[in-house]
Amino acid sequence: MKKDRLQKSLEIFGLQAVIDAVHEGKEFDKIFMEKGLNTGLAMELRALLKEHHIMFKAVPIEKLNRLTPKDHQGVFAFVSPVNFYQLGDVLMQTYEDGKSPIFLMLDRITDVRNFGAIARTAESCGVNAIILPKVGGAQLNSDAMKTSTGALMHIPICREQNLHHSLKYLKKSGLKVIACTEKSDTNLYDVPFVDPVVIVMGSEEDGISEEILELADARTRIPMFGKTESLNVSVASAVILYEAIRQRQLED
């Protein structure tokens, strides 16, 4: 597992600068390239990104000009402030450490402040890893880092190409999938969390995708007693994680 997780820069631009960053093994949140850019360095960068399975988005030059007034040469990249872990490595290490895995998967959660707050709680609860999608998840940027109060430097983050495939892998590895969703009549406090588990949280707007819900071994909801119909996703995550910790402490 990677140990040196802190990156020195959050933004880089210029073709050679981004090429060098790829060669150095930097982790990227997003890369924007000018549509139709076909210079020699641009083609070299696209080939390099393809080789390293790094995604980029083709955008109008106006978007790049808004990102920086400097000479960007048609490319602008957001570098992640932390490196990412391989899901299999974290799972193996967790079992080798004699722990019962508790993973947290975030499906379609894009708000960086919610993500940072969730990471802060997850790290406090001893969650072994947070699992995010490579596409359609929150940016791991300075706002997320600030909201997490540094927790993102201490909890493994796994960014997966396909959450559906990742859940299948975790299920085969002995983890139960528990989805927190309003599409359930099962009270949170009636669901066991003492076994190896991956807890899935969805966005407040869209919830958990149907293909992810289909893999759930259990669906549960947080009981609500007032007129408010739902909780902020970071608050909901905290409620569920601390119920899991409560059950595990009683089991010890």
Residue 241: per-residue pLDDT: 98
Domain ranges of the chain: 11-79, 87-251
Among 4-8, 29-33, 118-122, 178-182, the least confident range:
4-8
Among 8-17, 20-29, 213-222, the least confident range:
8-17
> Is the pTM above the cut of 0.85?
no
pLDDT tens-digit series, residues 99-127: 999 999 999 999 999 999 999 999 999 99
Residues 158-176: what's their mean pLDDT? 96
Residue 30: per-residue pLDDT: 86
Residue 134: per-residue pLDDT: 84
Q: Please name the fold of domain 87-251.
A: Alpha/beta knot (3.40.1280)
Residues 144-173: what's their mean pLDDT? 94
Mean of the per-residue pLDDT values for the chain? 92
HEC letters along the chain: CCCCCCCCCCEEECHHHHHHHHHCCCCEEEEEEECCCCCHHHHHHHHHHHHCCCCCEEECHHHHHHHCCCCCCCEEEEECCCCCCCHHHHHHHHHHCCCCCEEEEEECCCCHHHHHHHHHHHHHCCCCEEEEECCCCCCCCHHHHHHCCCHHHCCCEEEECCHHHHHHHHHHCCCEEEEECCCCCCEHHHCCCCCCEEEEEEECCCECCHHHHCCCCEEEECCCCCCCCCCCHHHHHHHHHHHHHHHHHHHC
pLDDT at 3 over 60: no
pLDDT at 155 over 60: yes
pLDDT at 1 over 50: no
Q: Please name the fold of domain 11-79.
A: 60s Ribosomal Protein L30; Chain: A; (3.30.1330)
